[in-house]
């Protein structure tokens, strides 16, 4: 017997590929972005290393993975009538594992025209003492209060309304703070993310460390607020765990495979924290 992670689609077509390793002590549903995505083979993902950690502990658990790289919280909640809600109705889970919010912040910083997203356009502006001054606070409030919080609540309410999983715990990824650098997942195709956003908004590189620290403090704050007033919701304490990458590196460095995703050593550190809570 062993622990297994399998995509939802694969489990529907070939359940025997997972079930032959059972019976399972616990079953988990993984949903969210590339930190959970089983198809993110280039940089790895938490469920793969979580199954590895379960095996190291002699546990026999099943992780059904319905995550998608690049997924935003809004897209997850908008498709609740599809895969997420469907899977909540199929099995009883010991926990739902969710990684969401990070892409929403990054997209808001990177994808809008300079000065029209989460970041100020600093072209021709005096250099502030702290990079966090480059964040548009009105855009931040709109992102968190008008966008992330309602969409998370929709996911939470769907979970609590499901017949099989009304009492199932929901564990939230708090990410960790990366270093803005020119380290894409796939050169000229996927990433870098923060590096691109900062350059697009003409932010001086000397401001990048404090800007990134401030942004990821905001992400952590948003995620850590979601358990307040809600039952069975836990923010997993993963910030400050990983060794930072070198700012001038373009590949794997410290505990980071690329700019915003951990490498194998990083994933293993995070998996131990998640496995402790899921025990």
- Tokens, residue 40: 């993110």
Report whether pLDDT(81) > 60: no
Nearest Cα residue to 120 out of 131, 134, 105: 134
| Residue pair 48/275 in contact by the 8 Å Cβ criterion | no
Mean pLDDT of 86-93: 94
Give the pLDDT confidence score for residue 165 in this predicted structure.
97
Return d(Cα 94, Cα 29) in angstroms, integer: 8
Strands (E), 77-159: 95-99
In DSSP terms, which residues pair with 236 in a beta bridge? Answer: 173
- Tokens, residue 152: 């998370």
Return d(Cα 115, Cα 229) in angstroms, integer: 35
Return d(Cα 81, Cα 188) in angstroms, integer: 35
Phi, psi of 57 (to 5 degrees): -90, 0
Return d(Cα 165, Cα 160) in angstroms, integer: 7
Return d(Cα 10, Cα 83) in angstroms, integer: 13
The domain spans of the chain are 4-103+144-183+219-278
| Nearby residues of 82 by Cβ (< 8 Å), 6 or more positions away | none
Give the pLDDT confidence score for residue 109 in this predicted structure.
95
| Residue pair 241/176 in contact by the 8 Å Cβ criterion | yes
Give the pLDDT confidence score for residue 34 in this predicted structure.
83
Return d(Cα 167, Cα 263) in angstroms, integer: 33
Q: How does pLDDT run across 162-218, given as a tens digit for each residue? A: 999 999 999 999 999 999 999 998 888 888 999 999 999 999 999 999 999 999 999
Q: How does pLDDT run across 144-161, given as a tens digit for each residue? A: 999 999 999 999 999 999
Return d(Cα 200, Cα 194) in angstroms, integer: 10
CA dihedral 53, 38, 259, 224 (to 10 degrees): -70
Nearest Cα residue to 145 out of 230, 235, 221: 221
Q: Decide which of 3.90.550.10, 3.40.50.1110, 3.40.50.1970, 3.30.750.210 is the CATH code for 4-103+144-183+219-278.
A: 3.40.50.1110
Q: Token pair 């952590």 is at which residue? A: 220
Report whether pLDDT(80) > 60: no
Q: How does pLDDT run across 11-46, given as a tens digit for each residue? A: 999 999 999 999 999 999 999 888 888 554 556 789
Q: How does pLDDT run across 232-274, given as a tens digit for each residue? A: 999 999 999 999 999 999 999 999 999 999 999 999 999 999 9
């Amino acid at each position: 017997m062993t622990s297994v992670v399998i995509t939802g689609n694969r489990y529907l077509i070939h359940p025997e590929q997972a079930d032959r390793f059972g019976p399972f002590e616990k079953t988990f549903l993984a949903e969210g972005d590339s930190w959970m995505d089983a198809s993110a083979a280039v940089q790895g993902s938490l469920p793969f290393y979580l199954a590895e950690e379960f095996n190291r502990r002699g546990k026999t658990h099943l992780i059904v993975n319905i995550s998608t790289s690049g997924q935003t919280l809004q897209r997850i909640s908008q498709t609740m009538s599809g895969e997420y809600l469907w899977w909540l109705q199929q099995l009883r889970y010991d926990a739902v594992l969710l990684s969401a919010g990070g892409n929403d912040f990054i997209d808001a910083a990177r994808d809008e025209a300079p000065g029209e997203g989460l970041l100020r356009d600093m072209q021709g502006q005096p250099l502030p003492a702290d990079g966090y001054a480059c964040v548009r606070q009105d855009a931040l409030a709109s992102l968190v209060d008008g966008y992330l919080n309602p969409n998370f609540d929709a996911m939470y309410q769907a979970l609590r309304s499901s017949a099989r999983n009304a009492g199932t715990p929901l564990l939230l990824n708090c990410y960790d703070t990366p270093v803005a650098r020119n380290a894409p997942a796939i050169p000229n195709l996927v990433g870098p993310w923060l590096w691109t956003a900062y350059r697009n908004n003409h932010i001086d590189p000397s401001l990048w460390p404090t800007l990134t620290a401030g942004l990821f403090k905001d992400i952590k704050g948003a995620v850590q607020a979601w358990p307040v007033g809600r039952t069975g919701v836990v923010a997993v304490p993963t910030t400050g765990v990983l060794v930072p990458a070198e700012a001038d590196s373009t590949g794997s460095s410290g505990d980071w495979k690329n700019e915003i995703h951990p490498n194998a050593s990083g994933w293993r550190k995070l998996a131990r924290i998640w496995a402790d809570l899921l025990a």
